[in-house]
Structure 1
């Protein structure tokens, strides 16, 4: 449980230990899955001694010194994090590719892999049989027990296999290794583990694996487990000496050992099958499967290339600050990675149940905005791709004969023979769909790249989802900030109005006391008017819209009127027996104005009309296009009620902040707000009492179309 004194051991770089490419392939693929768990990564890594050794070596570095007390391998992976594990996998694959083995060395590496995995399975099964609780620790010790020999094989790929052939026993192998390298494979492997966990028995278990059974009879159980598992994993078969050691160390009978050996072989075969390795159970040492065959090397190189490109794409996307920039970057990357030039990015609106186009690289981009696709099965290839979370194309047999009109229109917009629909999903979130033009001749190429394309779509979806969350969070923060400011303004307005009201009342008292002297009364009247003007300015501060800077645009006023009247019909008109008489000019175009301000103006006027007709009545709403006033074109809006009208004494001051004549809890400031908002949008408002009864308000708005 202490380090070895032989300083020569320190010169060997465990970071260069060869790994099985099949395991690297699985690990690289897993690292690029969105929902990969550390348990899944651990299961893959613990099938290769080289990868385990690298993980431990990185954990020993100064960067992770604060985590030196973490000795559980699975927890160690969590500490290192997904990005570090991914980096280890990629760099190992690159090293492997540029320092390929010859066929003989590849077979030796394959043999070491089989033996290490066999020892790991044997150690774990023995641990369970003998009641050793941390069975995973026994597995890890078994997997790493030959890591020192892998270092030697990497350092001397020609000499070391000859040495392995020449050594008839473990003791002779130890002697020959010390002569050639200055240390045995056991000592090099043990030192790696001592560096990581000097207080564990793991290092001792690796160090004493070749000792005779009689030498470890009183050693801790883990040392005995690895000692016997190492010997059991050799392919010489069961013999009297091995059975004797099983009884001596653990009191296990021959049938138990035979069953154990069969279970180990079955476990290794199953692991190999899962990795795509074809094992020959009867292969002699040095004649195993080649761990570095041409086919698997090329596949590993392809994976490294693809995922290096994908990492570049993720960096490109993450460098885009705004959502729109991410959308455009994803379309650019689609072209760079897959050679697909024209694309449209639809984002999901879960509340409305639709897909909306948000970015495109089409030549007729202005037409794309008109497409809003229902998220319902069978309505379009695009919707089905999103609902099924599956790559889909217009050439698929399920769609080829039943393309909808919208599918055909999109294909035409993409200027292509067909289209490919790429769902953008990350975890449980359905972010949207990327669609791109596709020719029939490209189908086979795209199918071969489907795995990379799905990883690309996950990267895009993940980045988009993050940007959407950031945007929502920012909008919510801005809304809260605006609301806070509005509340502060309302409070200040309230506080300012109190002294103004006192001053105005005091002026009235002075006016009475000073009598009818015209000069003084005239001055008091001027002061009173100025105070009212100050009050009016303060009230306008209260009514500033927090979103006024972003709400200007083309407004269909007729549609806005219909929407408001429908809202009031449900909430007010029906219960108060108020009917509406709409006389809207259907030829009136949308005009450029502030929608929020206009909506508040109309809402206040309709509210006033409702309150004026407490016993029921008729609300007349009219619009008229092209009203000429002093040579300028205006839109005219009229709202008239059938109530009692405005008292004659109030008509002159109807848009000033005086007490309302409607009664109830109304503040009396609604029409003042209306006047101020009308002024803000460069309009005008007038009012009169109609002969037939009721009040009529007329609004004129500039007819701005562009």
Structure 2
């Protein structure tokens, strides 16, 4: 891609790939200006070792050559449009594994032709020729090219001869063009190494390895792509919009986010239809896919005409001009968690590693802490020397930088496992929790690099399902903390506990600290209970989360200094800071943390208000209950 000749050579290659030819045209005219996105596209397309790929590819290229030749010889249609339509006629077979509707593939061509003739040529390419007698010439040319290539002795059939005559072409001339197109397709197949039977080196194992490598390479390219935002949210959202089009074929999308009253409203972060601004979706609307995605922190699908679907979702689909959409939680630049609505997505897009990787990289680029690692000015000469036990700031920064590397590797391996283990919902949910925890650690580590002199804005609140947080914690710790230590876990979650405006990461950290302390207190196993409920305290409605164990209780000497940072008596790597940190985190959420302990066990209670900073969610939601 260095130099005009190299770019021309690459363009000539991409022109022969049915998927890339379309995706590159959806980029800026100078696609080489976005090498990371192009790299991710190259890694994400179907590979030639997939079963049936060579036959599909040869048909695509042969129809393209023949359609272009028919257009040039007849003068009835633009030759480049005929090539694009012929190459794309079976596009759905690549993107949907052969099972997707060709109508959806045709819709992806809408951005290339405002009149829709390209889309029509793809949509109707297999229709009988008689139906297209009065259709646009581009439609008739692609129909004819498809029939000539896929029907035996098509040149001798009455309907084909009539279609040729309408283009002022004879049967002999058509047979010559057909033979030349098939020769061109064979030559290009040899050029790109596309063969019918894979060699021993390129069997199932090689194909799997190639796909795993390609996924990792695409992820690495996306990391560099979103780093181009340089901490500017507007640029990050613009990069996201281009990635949605080029990588996933998503032309129509929007971002909804919680408003001060708790309802979900459209934002200007991505260009959206003006009519969407009239919609306000309550956070407890169990029929709408948008609040479900937020409460469950997982992608949700909506399809028009689905029974019991929210009417607001039907209206969103109508305004976007789509038949279905995917709702995906997305961490925004201001600390809120919004919902990305992607129109007409590919099947199973929500579980695609590339999709999750792209949104993860975008979310990371949008976090304020991602751009605070700047060089500090030298300390003034009168600055007192640090105490002997202080760690120099440059050492902290180096350590944070080094910690980020294994975190990236861990995240990549989670993506690899997700690819290897398939679409099993339970496994994917577990891997999703692990991925979320890795991201949470990354955010904590990045926060260490914030200069003490800088005033760091407090992250905006997000609507959090307390029940979902407890459920995720139990599921995450069951096989690594509870079961190995012979802990029997009971969860009693009130389904009427509503989402509340909180900092989700802080609540997860507190609950994990309390659970870990409880397990360590029950040396020989025991019973641990999590409970949620609504209460009225001090005239205010609050949510109460209880963590209770059956350990031996706390000694009076410990209970009297429970929430103070002291030297732990546990030894090992315990610093004696866990409960002090936990109380501080709860107070940051305007809540309270209390403890009662007897020889029969210890009970911690977290209370958080349902109203914070003017944000008040509705009640009676059942998200996250068990």
What TM-score do the two structures reach when normalised by structure 2?
Answer: 0.36
More helix by share: 1
- Of structures 1 and 2, the one with the larger relative CO (CA 8 A, separation 6+) is 2
Report the structure number with the largest CA radius of gyration: 1
